[in-house]
Amino acid sequence: MSIILLLTLICFVCGNVYIYMRSLQTMRSLHIIVKAIYTLLFWLCALSLFIVLSLRHSDLPDFIPRTMYTIGSIWLVFVLYMTVILFMFDAIKRFFVPNMRRGFIYSLLLTITINTCGYINYLHPDVNRIDIAIDKPIAGDSMRIVGISDLHLGYGTGKKRLSRFVEMINAEKPDVILIAGDLIDNSIKPLYEQRMYEELNMLQATMGIYMSPGNHEYITGIEDCKEFLSKTPIKMLIDSMVELPNGVQIVLRDDPTNVVRPPAWYVLKKNKTDMERPVIIADHHPYGIAEKDTLGIDLQFSGHTHNGQIWPGNIVTSFLYEQSNGYRKWKHSHVYVSSGLSLWGPPFRIGTNSDMVVFNIYSTKQKNNRE
């Protein structure tokens, strides 16, 4: 994974240099002072995200890191698409239309259009409803679970957007809300400053709200996250099991960021999980799905992948994971990997969709007995 990050960083730097040099060619007739100001602003945008991440625990006024985070994250996607589109227009000019003079302008307008569409798409997450039949007893025969992941609350996903998400979740009238990690982004500071616990306290679920940690909870500081969540009805548990009043058992896995995380079979055994009754696992990373399928897990809910978030990232994640997005019935287990109700960094969904899943779980065993 570190190699992928290094290659991504190299591509990002090269893309910025390419765009900068081509833009200067377009601006060759402008005064040198204008070019100097442009240069300063260009590289400030390019470095904003890295600066704010390095200062995430600082005491700067909230609007400064929030603004820099927004600019820097948008710049990531801008550079990706601008580089590709500009290269395409430069190739067209070189080989097909040598008299074309506005390739940079065309590239800029097309990139802005794509990003605008991606932002609009991000504002409208999907609500996927899936019926899950389990051949094990459930008191009351059925239940409704709302599954969410990857809200990344912080400078990117603020209180206003969180309020909309809370309304979406409560509208489903869930028995349980299940959060598969990365509720918090990179710092706990903006959550306190925006009093986001007030919105989280409005979540409603008759049997409780349970959360497994993600890698960003560890980036933020797992103990800081626990302290913040203690002000909310959310119970973040690590490799622990909760038995609901209807007999359903929910296992909350630790994140692989913890290198001493035990295997799934050990966690089930340690918590004395009864495999004759329904077992649901929330595990932030969709790793080891085939292995857990052999253990008799009824439902696994994961996130983390964002389904690549923007094209062609979804192509990459489909190669990296056994199941990178959506629903699939394995030999025994039902598995759903969410692309995230929100996202990390750039506020765009290009070629992917944000989502929330509603599991309508019912027992075929009781139905068969009645028949």
Quote the Cα angle for 219-223-227, to 5°: 120
Terminal-to-terminal C-alpha distance of the chain:
52
Rounded CA-CA distance 135/320 in Å is: 32
Strand order, beta sheet including 249-252: 240-243, 249-252, 279-282, 299-302, 334-337, 326-329
Within the chain, residue ranges assigned H as helices are 2-26, 32-54, 63-95, 103-122, 159-171, 189-193, 197-200, 215-220, 222-229, 264-270, 289-293, 313-320, 364-370
CA gap 239, 250 in Å, rounded = 10
For residues 244-273, average pLDDT = 96
Query: Helix (H, G, I), strand (E, B), or coil: what is residue 243?
Result: strand
Q: Which one is predicted more confidently, 290 or 53?
A: 290
Neighbours of 244 (CB within 10 A): 20
**Residue 366 has what pLDDT?**
60
User: In this model, does residue 121 exceed pLDDT 90?
Assistant: yes
pLDDT band at residue 270 under the 50/70/90 scheme: very high
CATH architecture of the domain 126-370 equals: 4-Layer Sandwich (3.60)
Interatomic CA distance for residues 138 and 246, integer angstroms: 6
pLDDT at 370 over 70: no
* Neighbouring residues of 94: CB distance < 8 A, sequence distance ≥ 6: none
Q: Which residue, chain included where needed, has tokens 């698409």?
A: 81
Q: How far apart are CA 365 and CA 371, in angstroms?
A: 10
For the entire predicted model, the pTM comes to: 0.92
State the pLDDT at residue 57.
73
Query: Residue 371 pLDDT more than 70?
Result: no
Strands 355-363 and 142-148: antiparallel
Percent of the chain with pLDDT over 70: 98
Mean per-residue pLDDT over the chain, rounded: 94
Q: Which residue has the higher pLDDT, 58 or 315?
A: 315
Q: By mean pLDDT, which of 3-7, 123-127, 186-190, 209-213 is the weakest?
A: 3-7
User: How much is the pLDDT for 236?
Assistant: 98
pLDDT of residue 141 exceeding 70: yes
Structural domain boundaries in the chain: 2-122, 126-370
- Give DSSP secondary structure letters for 127-163: EEEEEEEESS--TTSEEEEEEE----BTTTB-HHHHH
- Work out the percent of the chain whose per-residue pLDDT is above 90: 87
Does residue 355 surpass a pLDDT of 70?
Answer: yes
pLDDT 10s digits, 31-55: 999 999 999 999 999 999 999 888 8
Q: What pLDDT, in 10s, does the model give residues 60-92?
A: 888 888 899 999 999 999 999 999 999 999 999
Residue with tokens 């070189």: 94
Res 203: pLDDT: 98
Among candidate residues 295, 294, 214, the one with its CA nearest the CA of residue 261: 214
Count of CB atoms situated within 10 Å of the CB of 17: 12
Type of residue at 320: L
Confidence of residue 5 (pLDDT cuts 50, 70, 90): confident
How large is the angle between the packed helices 2-26 and 32-54, nearest 10 degrees? 160
Taking 70 as the threshold, does the pLDDT of residue 153 lie above it?
A: yes
Q: Beta partners for 326? A: 337
Q: Which of 44-58, 168-182, 215-229, 335-349 bottoms out in mean pLDDT, i.e. has the lowest?
A: 44-58
Contact 266, 295 (CB under 8 A): no
Residue 197 predicted with pLDDT over 50: yes
